[in-house]
Chain A
């Protein structure tokens, strides 16, 4: 094994090509903290955004800029749910099925969405059940690449999946932060 790809060694920066914008992102993050290693989560997130997942190549690039070992980065990446260590898709749909959403039929929503995604052959999206996303007022809800939508019902699955496939905003007006977002029972979130 050459030193460059040995995960236990800090890669030689001269041997790793890092896209300039990714390098800038990581270096900016490193500059924010007294200890550069604090930037690991942000750097992996930035690399994932660029590569679609924390691929070996992505982690090698982060390692080269941050001067840490790929093994260290992998140990961190495997700990956190939002960092993908498998190429499951470069976008995400997290359907919350945790306790509060569970009480409001979340499993049926997830099943409907997963089935629709499967049926229509949705690609490049990681669709998964997720633990509490901190939006139990919108239950059952989901996060579409960070945009919280809800309350959902199983019947929303076709429109949701279609929007995801076509890269449109899913369920307009029903996302937290949408200008006119309001609960169905009145009041603002």
Chain B
């Protein structure tokens, strides 16, 4: 099978990150069209009609979200969520590094459509190379009049700032992102009010993922109908899928939504290494409940992943082969969420902590059958009980692993325990007699 390249069509063009090459390849024509041939409302309608759904994880209709921004002449904000921290996801990194002007163009169009006059790209601090590239691209765009006051002679003005994070997964959660952008600890906020009404600096704020915004210039250029010819009825367009883990060719692949997951994992990424089989896979980053090899024939889109009990999420497939024991993987996953929990809500802060402790016990031979039961219960008590979904993001995949690999958990625990018992016995036998007496 082959990819359907729209966003990645020219990604390997040398120098695409510079404005000269980008313009030569037709760049910023969509912006010109949106500003000179279309009304802001028409642009917004086009985005709504395209069926473009958010590519960051939640899959909310982008045009609809933009339409929630109230009209009127107050300060309004557009934030690009470039925090890309979901384990397994590296598509936005590629887009920003190779095609930064596409993002800028998409942002200016989206800002105009939503009536926003200030825009920010909140990029994770670890992406230093990509942030440097974006900074340079933004400076070029200002120089050519694509950013700033009265863009291309239109009444629209957009100021754009690249703002760097400093290492916190939670800042990819939109309300935590806003707090971080305001210079605070990245704690999620209580919703409602939603950012569209009360977001950055208490003003109306539209927040979109990098990939979502990169689709915007294409929709303006070629139309909503064209966009809908790709993908499925409810999941229109293409999706860049980051494939990683135990596959022969990890990387970013752009496909139409609705192709089978097997085609992506085997056809594009080469499947697991020679002699190995797929044990399980995360269809949408590490926060997505795992699916099994038999689920690979499902169409890869928002609906089918949800029906299978998981989610498309950020579109990151992590493949785990049959050489990987499930308990250490589950433990490593839980450790991530424990580390990244902001600590604001008790079920998440304590739940992630105790999950790690229990998994560690199971892995090191100190577990009891009760631990597995308790572990499963803790997951259920996290879900839906916090301000944001970070806790759920651990509880869902951990819960799915226990459910689907319960026998392996039990076996692992027994084996680890007899190993630990054996070591304890050996220590006692080898220890001097006086120590035994003690």
Measured CB to CB, the residues of A under 8 A from B are 32-35, 37-42, 44-45, 75-76, 79-83, 94, 97-100, 102-104, 131-139, 143, 146-148, 176-177, 183, 185-189
Within 8 Å CB of A135, what residues of B?
90, 93
Q: Give B118's nearest chain A residue, CB to CB.
A: A34
Name which of A136, A139, A188, A189 has the most chain B CB atoms within 10 A of its CB: A136
22 contacting pairs across A/B (C-beta < 8 A): A32-B163, A34-B201, A35-B182, A38-B163, A39-B183, A98-B87, A99-B282, A100-B244, A100-B245, A103-B245, A104-B245, A131-B336, A132-B86, A132-B88, A132-B169, A134-B85, A134-B124, A136-B89, A137-B242, A138-B250, A147-B128, A176-B97
Contact B318 A80 (CB under 8 A): no
Contact B251 A187 (CB under 8 A): yes
Q: Give A40's nearest chain B residue, CB to CB.
A: B183
B260-292 to A contact mask, C-beta < 8 Å, 1/0? 000000000010000000000010001000000
- B201 in complex: contacting residue of A35, A94, A138, A143, CB < 8 Å: A35
Contact A185 B87 (CB under 8 A): no
Within 8 Å CB of A32, what residues of B?
161, 163
Contact A104 B246 (CB under 8 A): yes
We find that the number of chain B residues with CB closer than 8 angstroms to chain A is 63
Task: Take A38-B183, A94-B126, A99-B87 as given contacts and tell me if A45 and B336 are in contact as well, using a CB distance cutoff of 8 Å.
Answer: no
Q: For the complex, is B252 an interface residue (Cβ under 8 Å from A)?
A: yes
Contact A136 B87 (CB under 8 A): yes
Within 8 Å CB of B181, what residues of A?
38
Q: Give A94's nearest chain B residue, CB to CB.
A: B126
B236-259 to A contact mask, C-beta < 8 Å, 1/0? 000000111110111110000000
Q: For the complex, is B84 an interface residue (Cβ under 8 Å from A)?
A: yes
Contact B244 A137 (CB under 8 A): yes
Contact A100 B93 (CB under 8 A): no
Contact B88 A41 (CB under 8 A): no
Contact B249 A183 (CB under 8 A): yes
Within 8 Å CB of A148, what residues of B?
129
Given contact pairs A99-B245, A131-B340, enumerate 6 new A-B contacts (beta carbons under 8 Å). Answer: A41-B125, A41-B180, A45-B164, A98-B286, A134-B84, A136-B90
Taking the nearest CB of chain A, how far is it from the CB of B207, in angstroms?
A: 16
- B251 in complex: contacting residue of A98, A132, A189, CB < 8 Å: A189
Contact B87 A100 (CB under 8 A): yes
Q: For the complex, is B153 an interface residue (Cβ under 8 Å from A)?
A: no
- B129 in complex: contacting residue of A39, A177, A183, A185, CB < 8 Å: A177
Within 8 Å CB of A146, what residues of B?
126, 128-129
Task: Name B10-39 residues within 8 Å CB distance of A.
Answer: 12
Task: Take A32-B161, A177-B97 as given contacts and tell me if A136 and B126 are in contact as well, using a CB distance cutoff of 8 Å.
Answer: no
Complex Cα gap A45–B125 (Å) = 10
Name which of A76, A83, A132, A176 has the most chain B CB atoms within 10 A of its CB: A132
A-side interface mostly: loop
Name which of A41, A134, A146 has the most chain B CB atoms within 10 A of its CB: A134
Within 8 Å CB of B248, what residues of A?
185
Complex Cα gap A132–B97 (Å) = 18
Q: For the complex, is B94 an interface residue (Cβ under 8 Å from A)?
A: yes
Q: For the complex, is B422 an interface residue (Cβ under 8 Å from A)?
A: no
Taking the nearest CB of chain A, how far is it from the CB of B286, in angstroms?
A: 5
Complex Cα gap A139–B244 (Å) = 8
Within 8 Å CB of A75, what residues of B?
185
Contact B166 A83 (CB under 8 A): yes
Contact A103 B318 (CB under 8 A): yes
Within 8 Å CB of B94, what residues of A?
189
Within 8 Å CB of A33, what residues of B?
161, 163
Task: Take A94-B126, A100-B244 as given contacts and tell me if A41 and B166 are in contact as well, using a CB distance cutoff of 8 Å.
Answer: yes
Within 8 Å CB of A137, what residues of B?
90, 242-244, 250-252
Within 8 Å CB of B340, what residues of A?
131
B183-219 to A contact mask, C-beta < 8 Å, 1/0? 1111000000000000001000000000000000000
Contact B336 A99 (CB under 8 A): yes
Complex Cα gap A98–B201 (Å) = 34
Complex Cα gap A97–B331 (Å) = 12
Name which of A38, A41, A185 has the most chain B CB atoms within 10 A of its CB: A41
Complex Cα gap A100–B243 (Å) = 9
Taking the nearest CB of chain A, how far is it from the CB of B157, in angstroms?
A: 14
Complex Cα gap A88–B42 (Å) = 54
Q: For the complex, is B329 an interface residue (Cβ under 8 Å from A)?
A: yes
Contact A45 B166 (CB under 8 A): yes
Contact B93 A99 (CB under 8 A): no
Task: Take A35-B182, A45-B166 as given contacts and tell me if A131 and B339 are in contact as well, using a CB distance cutoff of 8 Å.
Answer: yes
Task: Take A136-B244, A143-B126 as given contacts and tell me if A42 and B164 are in contact as well, using a CB distance cutoff of 8 Å.
Answer: yes
